Structure 1
Amino acid sequence: MFDSVGWGEILVLVVAGLFILGPERLPGAAAWLGRTIRQVREYATGARDQLQKELGPEFDELRKPLEDLRGLRNLNPRAAVKRTLFEGETPNFGVDVSKPPLRGGLDMTKPVSNGNGSAPERPAVTPLAPGERPPIDPDAT
């Protein structure tokens, strides 16, 4: 829980609490804070256990992508770029690239149908002439 909070920050909080609450109320406030944190942890553990009990083996499938996202927190972009450019290794950043991504339940590898079995036609795009202003969509701005 306190991964990003160092001893310096804790010391500043204690000194600020000492000035705000005073020395007579600080121990009671610290005890209240400890009880509250313990109670929140118990609630979170109970909720996780209940979800795990209700979902069964699907809970682990749900939990894996979240752990992959947690691994991105420790990503060092400089090292990833260096590894990609100089060592020829392609980083996957914890993502399984062997499967096509699913967005909103749609398979992004298949073309979208317009209802009659064919893919919708896209309008032809013509390049702008030099000095020509692009069209503006007033609803988009």
Structure 2
Amino acid sequence: MGFGLDFEKLLVIGLIAVLLIGPERLPHYAEQFAKLVRRGGELLRDTRSRVQEEMGPEVADVDWRKLDPRQYDPRRIIRDALFEDSAPAPIAPSAPVAAPAPTPPPAPRVMPVFTRTSPPPFDPEAT
């Protein structure tokens, strides 16, 4: 059964309900529960027929199990995408380009030291 309920748990819940409700009110509550279950079934059937009416006859041909996201393994999807054989885009031949001149390394930055007499600059727009 769904929600982790098995027969034994349902039996215990039923016995507790019988003890709490009592024999006088039990038939009334059983009737209300039966009406609730019937109404839920009607709502499910109405919803299914409405979906078929609005989506058309194509919705009957859809295999919903194939679209279940629980069947996809993210590791497999990533592995397939990484090892997919895709041809690289062809590179158009171009004229030879001269190598750029080497740039000198940047000068090392000197971090300023702030004291009580020379506090750091204040930026009112920073906060």
TM range (shorter): 0.3 to 0.5
Tell me which of the two structures has the higher relative contact order, counting C-alpha pairs closer than 8 angstroms and 6 or more residues apart.
1
**Larger radius of gyration between Structure 1 and Structure 2:** 2
